[in-house]
Amino acid sequence: DEHGAVFGAFAADRLIGLTGVARSTADYGTAELGMSWLSPEARGQGLASRFFAARLDWARRGGCARAVVWCRR
């Protein structure tokens, strides 16, 4: 939808990854890229890069000129 999207990765019928993107409530032209989760066995296969690309594509198609990445260390 125009406010945000959630993307999942599946192996057969099992969820192995999840990420999301939403429009900023402070600036409609900014997309906020949420943190991603990948199951341990799904790591190292390029899924994080594919999630990042999917979120940026959603932002571009929605007319967002900026993206902010949320992360936790």
Give the tens place of pLDDT for each residue, 1-58.
789 999 999 999 999 999 999 999 999 999 999 999 999 999 999 999 999 999 999 9
The predicted model scores a pTM of 0.89
Enumerate residues 6+ apart whose C-beta is below 8 A from 25: none
3-state secondary structure of 10: strand
